[in-house]
Amino acid sequence: MKFSRAIFLSFFLVTSAVHGQASRPPTPYYDFGACPFECCTYRRWSVEADTALLKQRAEKSGIAFLVKKGDHVVGLTGVVVTLKPGKVIVKKPKTIGLINKTQVKRGDILYLLNYMGEGVYKIWFRGKIYQDEMPTAPGLITKIPLEQREEYLHVVSEPKSVWWVKVRNRHGKIGWSKQDDHFGDMDRCA
């Protein structure tokens, strides 16, 4: 009898732990290949400020090469690293998801991973990823009347993230930077 209780308790704890892991996103969360704003594109970029490019996606990896203001590099790819997901509490039942859809109910918690552009965030809900507009997203806030902004959602916090970009210089050297504001011509719509 004690043995079967131990097995049941072990099963319950493992199941609870697995369910608990699925309900919250891993931190940090890595979105490889992400370009986190409307019309963002990887291509030939201008260098807007002198920048040290690192060997790896880590502050202490050492400098791979330097670029000067006025140079050009090729933006190869990037990764948005969500250090702390944002949190949204559902106030009214709703269907979320622009591509994959799911129903959420009052009290459900949505975790915002990163901003994607045009008012759309990547969202973690019960172990799955969705994309949808959020009422407080940059650019969308002015399109929604004040009385409707948080009709079905309560945004508790915005995500904290950093965008690492991988670039190649004219000599073929490759390096990483999280100083994305040091580069221009990233917006194909501009």
DSSP string, 47-103: E-S-EEEESSSSTTS-EEEEE-TT-EEEEEEEEEEEEE-EEEEE-S-EEE-SSS-EE
Q: Where do the structural domains in the chain lie, given as residue ranges? A: 25-184
What does each of the 190 residues of the chain score in pLDDT, given as a tens digit?
454 444 444 444 344 334 444 589 999 999 999 999 888 999 999 999 999 999 999 999 999 999 999 999 999 999 999 999 999 999 999 899 999 999 999 999 999 999 888 888 999 999 999 999 887 654 444 455 555 555 788 888 889 999 999 999 999 999 999 999 999 999 888 7
pTM for the structure as a whole: 0.78
